[in-house]
Amino acid sequence: MLAGVVFCAFECSARAQGYAAAIASDEPSIAPGSRITLQNWQRYKQFMSAGMIALFEGSHFWRLPPNIEIEIGPTISIPLPAKYLQDTARYANRTALTKTRDGGYVPTGYVAGLPFPEPQKGDPALTGERVFWDTYYRYQPRVQGAPNFSYSLDPAGDMTQTSESTYVQSQLTFLSDPAMPAAVPEANPSVYTAKFDEELSPEQSRYSTLLDLLPSDPTKVDELYEYVPALRRSLRLSQAARCAPVFGSDYLVDDENNGPPGLPQLFKVDYLGEKKILALVHATPAAFDSPGTAVGLDSRFFYAGGAGVVPFPKPAAGRWELRDSYVIALERLPQFADGYCYRKRVLYVDKENYFAAAQLDLYDSADQLFKSQMIISYPQAIPGTANDVVQSVAGSNTSFLINFKDKHLSVEPNLHACINSDCARNGYFDVSRYASPEGLMKIVQ
């Protein structure tokens, strides 16, 4: 009861005040070395997302393990890469927000780097839009690839490794990598990013491969192809159904971009303010050596999951830190809202590097908390640079999508990623193999 009142105190007041009151930017910090437990968490809830608060409260089926401990460390900088910052300085003044006929906004003139390096400057009504597009175009290397795993945890407490795949992500345009052109010459110029995901297990779906081509025009929907082993060729798919569940998981099609939804021009983006948010972004690298076992995550680094219990990272997985974040909320424009899967998507965007998915809350049509995403990661060095690092989306991260409404949970441990030249020995630079439909003819013939 008390927990419900506390939750509503946050939720209801936030709703009533447009979330602004709940995310003032001048909260005190947490001293490194502090430990957050079930006994003292309320002292720190101002640094938590709504999803994290719900987990501590245990009011939405999912809760944290009873012996949970979150160890706080110092905030360590994760700056954007030097070349990306150079491109930001060079091209940022060319980018402008243009209002679409439907009332959304899209950037025009974007070349590379951050489109809006100072998002709070300019029309205050568009601050959220500027933060969002910075997130959308945040730095990603030319190639990154990693072994990816999926687990599901059902209401009965069955935790199962449901799949293993090889994931390769290729950025083909708007590149900011040293010694590389802004666009890959041999690639289709209308493609921004290619996501290639080849299943390795279970055996019945081995070789199944999804190729998702994100257009360089963000107002267009992705082009999607699937290699079907039973057909020995690819099938053309459509991503028009943004709310369709991804098979066997809690993700919907619109959840698969680590923060930003597809067709962002159909959304209005509200800037809710700034907030220091707890995140595990300097996780122990060893936590990404192995996904764990067939029935659970690596017990050295994660608590055991169970019925209603989230397999949360243990202190051995690394020390959490406070990240200065922008908070934005995306809602479909009224004319496109009918039938859409979420009422609202709240992103906590890291102010330093614009990574948005360390914490993410999703609300249903009744504005109730539906799901929360949490990604733990560590920044990986970018080969060929002095000291640049990146939070790879392909690997070196573990993603939790907690489905409060359906009492189900999906976890994706993605192991150490290869980045740029490290991927060469795997052949990941081959656009025709990993970033075009031609590659789907080269899996199993």
Partner 1 sequence: MEAYKAVRSRSLAILIISALVYVASFSEQARAQDLSLNLADQFGRSIFTGAAQPMLDLSHSDSPLSGLSITGLLSNTSGMWASSAELTNFGRAAGEHHGANSLSVERNWIQADSNYVLDGNNKFFVRFWGVYEPPYPWESTNILSEQQVYDKSQSQFYNQYTVRDAFWKNTTGPLTLFLGRQIVTWGESLSFRVGDVINPQDLSWNFGFANLEQSRLPLWMVHPILNLPKAGPFTDNFIEGVWAPAWQPMYTNVDYADNRYAGLHSIAGSVNLQPPGGARFDTYPYPFTTPAQTPPGMQAAFPQVTNLVSQVQTYRLPSDTWANSVEGFRLHTLVEDAEITALYWHGHQLNNTMFVNGTPQIGQTFQFRYPELNDVGITLNRPIYIPVGALANVPFVLRTEGVWQDRTPFNTLNTARPSAVVYSSTLNTLAALDVDGLATPWLSRTGALTLNLEWNNYTILSPNKDLVYGGYAEHWRHNEENLLFSASTSWWWGAVVPTPTAIFNPDGNTWEFFPNIVLTPPWTNKYLLMLEFIGVLSNDKYSAYAGGNFKGKNILLMQFQYNFDLVRGRN
For the chain, count helices (H), then strands (E): 6, 22
Min CB(280)–partner 1 separation in Å: 25
Confirm or reject binding of residue 427 to partner 1 (CB under 8 A): yes
Min CB(414)–partner 1 separation in Å: 14
CB 398 within 8 A of CB 134: no
Of the residues 90, 99, 121, 232, which one makes contact with partner 1 according to CB under 8 A: 232
Confirm or reject binding of residue 123 to partner 1 (CB under 8 A): no
Confirm or reject binding of residue 121 to partner 1 (CB under 8 A): no
# residues near partner 1 by CB under 8 A = 68
Contacts for 58 with CB less than 8 Å, ≥ 6 apart: 3, 64, 308
CB 99 within 8 A of CB 124: no
- Binding to partner 1 (CB under 8 A): which residues in 133-152? 147, 152
Confirm or reject binding of residue 426 to partner 1 (CB under 8 A): yes
Contacts for 33 with CB less than 8 Å, ≥ 6 apart: 71, 72, 73
Min CB(6)–partner 1 separation in Å: 29
Min CB(238)–partner 1 separation in Å: 3
Confirm or reject binding of residue 436 to partner 1 (CB under 8 A): yes
Min CB(239)–partner 1 separation in Å: 7
Helix (H) or strand (E) holding 427: none
Min CB(436)–partner 1 separation in Å: 5
Min CB(107)–partner 1 separation in Å: 21
CB 378 within 8 A of CB 284: yes
Of the residues 78, 126, 183, 252, which one makes contact with partner 1 according to CB under 8 A: 252
Of the residues 231, 334, 386, 387, which one makes contact with partner 1 according to CB under 8 A: 231
The region of 3-11, 91-99, 120-128, 237-245 touching partner 1 under the rule CB under 8 A is: 237-245
Q: Is the dihedral of CA 282, 386, 414, 194 positive or negative?
A: positive
Of the residues 4, 20, 120, 247, which one makes contact with partner 1 according to CB under 8 A: 247
The region of 127-135, 235-243, 299-307, 388-396 touching partner 1 under the rule CB under 8 A is: 235-243
DSSP string, 226-270: EEETTTTEEEEE----TTPBPTTSS-BGGGTTSSPPSSGGGEEEE
Min CB(224)–partner 1 separation in Å: 8
Confirm or reject binding of residue 341 to partner 1 (CB under 8 A): yes
Q: Which two three-digit tokens encode residue 338?
A: 């009918």
Site string for partner 1, 160-199 (x = CB under 8 A): xxxxx-x-------------------x-xxx-------x-
Which residue pairs, CB below 8 angstroms and at least 24 apart, start in 248-251?
248/150, 248/152, 248/162, 248/163, 249/150, 249/152, 249/162, 249/401, 249/410, 250/152, 250/371, 250/401, 250/402, 250/403, 250/406, 250/408, 250/409, 250/410, 251/401, 251/410
Which candidate, 134, 236, 146, places its Cα nearest to that of 197? 146
Residue type, 323: R
Confirm or reject binding of residue 345 to partner 1 (CB under 8 A): no
Nearer to partner 1, 42 or 160 (CB): 160
Q: Report the C-alpha gap between 49 and 63 in whole angstroms.
A: 14
Confirm or reject binding of residue 24 to partner 1 (CB under 8 A): no
Contacts for 91 with CB less than 8 Å, ≥ 6 apart: 110, 111, 112, 113
The site for partner 1 (CB under 8 A) is made up of 147, 152, 154, 156, 158, 160-164, 166, 186, 188-190, 198, 200-204, 206, 221, 223-224, 229-233, 236-245, 247-250, 252-253, 293-295, 339, 341, 406, 408, 424-428, 430, 432-433, 436-438, 441-442, 444-445
